[in-house]
Amino acid sequence: MGFMARSADIDMGKAKAGICASCHGADGVGLSPLYANLAGQKAPYLVKQLQNFKAGNRTDPTMNIFAKQLSDEDIENLAAYYESLPAGGKSAEKVEPKQTKPSETEPSKTEKNKK
């Protein structure tokens, strides 16, 4: 079945993602450079990769075992969940600190030289 033939359920994907977190992190960012970052990836890409692992067209001993246990619905839900996460695991609610001009935080070079 192709991606999104039915509406994917992000909450069901999140519930199913618990086992994925042991390698891919709770926020979808791999815990080591060996593990892919899943957060923010496009759902169709993730569906294709999981289907390839499940079918044995892409090989990784761990991923092949886990993917074979997933239904098509599980794969679509997981893909929708990971797509919904901010790329890089950054919180969507995080606010960047205000950038200050150097003159606001320290004296200029000319002021330092006057002393």
pLDDT tens digits, 63-115: 999 999 999 999 999 999 999 999 987 654 443 444 555 555 555 555 555 55
Contact by Cβ (8 Å): 77, 10: yes
Domain presence at residue 62: yes
Look up the domain containing 67 and give its range.
10-88
Domain presence at residue 25: yes
- Domains: count for the chain: 1
Domain presence at residue 112: no
Q: What is the pLDDT of residue 88?
A: 83
Q: What is the pLDDT of residue 94?
A: 45
pLDDT, the chain, mean: 83
Give 59's contacts (C-beta < 8 A, 6+ positions apart).
53
pLDDT tier at 5, thresholds 50, 70, 90: very low
Domain presence at residue 27: yes
